[in-house]
Amino acid sequence: MNCVYRKVTARKIISLMLVICLIWMPGIKAYAEESAPVTIAAPSAILLEASTGTVIYEQNADAACSPASITKIMTLLLIFEALERGDIKLEDEVMTSAHAQSMGGSQVFLEEGEMQTVDTMIKCIAVASGNDAAVAMAEFIAGSEEEFVSRMNEKAQALGMNGTHFEDCCGLTDSDNHYTTARDVAAMSRELITRHPDVFNYTMIWMEDITHNTARGSSTFTLSSTNKLLKQYQWTTGLKTGSTSKAKYCLSATARKDDIDLIAVVMTAPDYKVRFSDAATLLNYGYSVSALYKDANQDALPRLLIDGGVQDDAGLSYQQGFSYLDVKGNDLSTIEKVIHLPESAQAPVKAGDKAGEAVYRLNGETIGTVPILFSENVEKAVYRDYVLKVLSYFLL
């Protein structure tokens, strides 16, 4: 009798558990759907805010992918760095080599010996994704495409792009040794737009004519942007498309809304429409959850007492401004900024040395710090300095 009772009881328990599972399964499914903030078709993607580098969303962001013409983001970065150093100027004229002319794929049909300004070459790269223009600029800056690519790889390492290796400057190669990741593309995109925002003067061009001046005469060629988001998404500012049979369809899309710059990278999308729709989906999600706190740190700081120095105190300055991206709906007006400085510092001190820091707190938690630096040198006082101080005291 006990065995029968136990069997019946066990069956009831199992039946009850099945009923509970059936009741809860829709809820579990709904929760899973709610926990995925966006749905995109591309297998690899990332969304981040540019000023802070905060990642808002990612999906297989470290998967190795062929970048195609997204490679040119690094090419543009090195071009703008050369401009910043003064190595080249926008009005400099660049000659197209036979090697540059031989590039296939996306091109602006430069001819061997043709001269174009750096300014025009940047337009050809940023707007029309000209492989010939990219190689011509690589040769102009570094002497050869090979040397330029070496510099691209060095810059990638400096930016922590450990999942990236370049073999050309335009992305035309199908080599398995030319690869990157969505995260790395976002990193070089962020470096480009935050350090060199003038790139937007080019990436926001929808259509523009250039003039070919060759031995056969003068002709007009219309550059047409490969980035269709410029017409499809009103806050678009750039940045670069890419596509080959190996890479499929890629896009690093930048946008600005309410002073928030977002970067959405989509890799290996199945077709060109999907890369744009996926990017728009990511950007819309980002703007729906993002709030940005900024402090320019231009308020006056006190002078800090210096012990044993040739002067009694030293000026201070912030190293930089502060930005914080919130995606949790917090009230950013409650952020507190607290200055931490010692009562004094011991001489000598050098301009640029750290004196203290500004600490930012939200809801009782530290969300970031900014170093406070000495803005001037104060040498250590010697016997002669003390004598002069005493004399000046009595002479006053």
Q: Name every residue whose Cβ is closer than 8 Å to that of residue 32 and which is 6 or more positions away in sequence.
A: none
The number of CA neighbours under 13 Å toward the Cβ of 170 is 28
Q: Is 155 one of the annotated binding-site residues?
A: no
Q: Catalytic amino acids?
A: 69, 72, 129
Cite the annotated binding site by residue number. Answer: 240
